[in-house]
Amino acid sequence: MSMFRPFYGGEKGGTKSQQDKHIVPTSSEERKLLLNQLKCRLSDTPHELKAAYAHAQRVNSKIVDDDHLLLFLEYDNFDVEAASKNLLRYWENRLSLWGESDFTKPITLRGAMRQYLDDVMGMYVQLLPVFTPDGSAIIHFDTRKNVSGDGTMVKLMVYILQRFMDKSSKYYGRSLAVLSNGSGVTLSNFSTGWISQVTRHYSSIPVTSNSIHLCHTEKVFPLVMGAIKVVLDAAQRDEFRLHDGNDQQVAESLCRFGFDLDCIPTSLGKLELNEEDYMRGLAADESAELEDLIDTAPSKPLTLTGQTSPSVWSPLSAGGEESSGRQEQLIDMYAHQADIVAQQSFAVAEAMYPAMQAVSASNVFNLMGSASPTISNIPTLAAPRGALPQTISQCLPLSLGQLASLQSIQRDQYSMTQQQHFQQQQFQQQFQHQLAPSWNHQIALNASSLATPSNVAVQSSPLHSVITKPQAQQKKTVKKKLSRSAKHPGRTGDQRMNKAVQAKLNDSDISLIDALLSGGFVFPDLDKEDKTTKTADVKDLEGISIYQRRNQLLRRLRLAKEKEKKSM
């Protein structure tokens, strides 16, 4: 049997019925036969589709040996077609992340990660040396610590996930549990960029995540809920849990979900892990010595004294706990008491914050004038004089025409104040997209940002070069897209509906409702056990009934079949 637990749902491994179509081979002859089929499939693939894989095979054939191919075969339940696509996508992602000079090196502390030892030692992301009682490995995020940037964060995560692919590692073949201490997340350090990049790499790596646990996020979760929802598929949302309350209550809540206090770091539990011991553990897992890594590292030398640099380490006490000054700065932003523990799935947690999202959308703009917004200066639920918009969609970002008009001013007259204003507008536009209450509002925001006033001439500037269509044609196109997305919310702009259509096309035996759920639609009242809610009254989180969603899916399926007939 495969060492990997198949991942059902989303883009990671297909539906359960698709997985069941492939019988796992039990004999070595059958495995060898399927391995040869995979090699033949790769050799028949056009070179432009396998350029990264072919280059790695030519430069360093040891890293693409039979064991490497079997990893993808086992993970995809010995589906040769799926394994070949996943393998090629993995090497394309690896090339784009590390570059042509490093992507064929082993992703180890002695290989591609050699110049990032300081960042690994920063312990923002940790691969813990202990496991849960069911044998899952634990990836721990300590958001109170600092990190160099999005690119470094992605490489740290890919390095950790790579340990699950190393046959000599103790993490090989294990599923993983994600545990995050979100007490350090603020509007200034939350980045959707690295989350989307990590999701793209994770989708091609043969590793399974069986649970995601976010702790101490009650102050910021309503602000970032939309961005988190985008990167989670339906199966991951079912395993998503929030744990809020004081430290003792959060620890007790984690224990009820299969964690021991001894395998939870000191920021949440009892596991004590300093920088040197953590690095020695990673080096030992690679059969290396920490001193050898430090001697050969091309970057600045590591310090194992426990003293931290202000640019890398957070202002924590030696015991790993928050300082009293930081604890005094944290304020209760929302109405619920701190001693109420929320152990809810993503769908229930999302439903808990409908009113908070509207207030959060208004409060975000109070932070625009702050140079470095933190939790300590986030406003409370009090209404901001009524001058700010109640919903995010009422305050649109600066258009390209207005931006180009500002940038056409001569360089010597382009003051620092105007540059700061432009940066604030960019920051404001980012959160508009994160907090858009639905996919259609996001489409409207995208279209609005492209609408250029007809009385503003688009000119070249030293900072940007803007090329647009004629004004009348562009306005007509934007107006058409806006009206189309408003009348037909189930059309191609909704990625959840696209996934639901694909799920139904892949497996005609599943019901329409199951297809909608696999696509990512959430119906909070669908699984109530009291049976008091009629099916006709069941609505998703956007207020659209389940029958409307079903009709949209039927219409999309009919169009897909008509398109298929025309192409024949």
- Same domain? For 258 and 130 the reply is yes
Could you say which of 446, 461, 487 is where a domain stops?
A: 487
User: For the ranges 227-241, 286-300, 420-434, which has the lowest average pLDDT?
Assistant: 420-434
525 confidence band (pLDDT: 50, 70, 90): confident
- Same domain? For 407 and 426 the reply is yes
- Same domain? For 92 and 133 the reply is no
- Same domain? For 171 and 133 the reply is yes
Per-residue b/e over 193-207, b at no fewer than 16 CB within 10 Å?
ebbebbbbbbbbbbb
CA distance 445 to 66: 48
- Same domain? For 16 and 65 the reply is yes
- Same domain? For 469 and 548 the reply is no
Angle between helix 416-435 and 400-407 (nearest 10): 170
- Same domain? For 275 and 155 the reply is yes
pLDDT of residue 350: 58
User: For the ranges 112-126, 249-263, 478-492, which has the lowest average pLDDT?
Assistant: 478-492
CA distance 204 to 71: 12
Domain membership of residue 288 (yes or no) is yes
CATH number at residue 235: 3.40.525.10
Domain membership of residue 35 (yes or no) is yes
pLDDT exceeds cutoff 80 at 226: no
Count of the separate structural domains present in the chain: 4
Task: Please enumerate in sequence order all residues whose Cβ is within 8 A of that of 278, keeping only pairs 6 or more positions apart, or say none.
Answer: 121, 123, 126, 129
pLDDT exceeds cutoff 50 at 172: yes
Domain membership of residue 336 (yes or no) is no
Beta-strand pair 176-181/125-131: unpaired
**Arithmetic mean of pLDDT, 319-341:** 35
Domain membership of residue 407 (yes or no) is yes
pLDDT of residue 568: 77
Beta-strand pair 125-131/137-142: antiparallel
- Same domain? For 505 and 446 the reply is no
Domain membership of residue 561 (yes or no) is yes
Domain membership of residue 374 (yes or no) is no
- Same domain? For 396 and 509 the reply is no
- Same domain? For 182 and 305 the reply is yes
pLDDT of residue 189: 75
pLDDT of residue 156: 92
Domain membership of residue 182 (yes or no) is yes
pLDDT in tens, 80-118: 999 999 999 999 999 999 999 899 999 999 899 988 988
238 confidence band (pLDDT: 50, 70, 90): confident
Domain membership of residue 159 (yes or no) is yes
For residue 9, what are the β-bridge partners? none
- Same domain? For 172 and 310 the reply is yes
For residue 178, what are the β-bridge partners? 139, 212
Alpha helices in 258-399 (DSSP H): 275-285, 290-296, 324-329, 346-352, 354-364
pLDDT exceeds cutoff 50 at 324: no
Domain span including residue 79: 10-98
CA distance 461 to 455: 18
184 confidence band (pLDDT: 50, 70, 90): confident
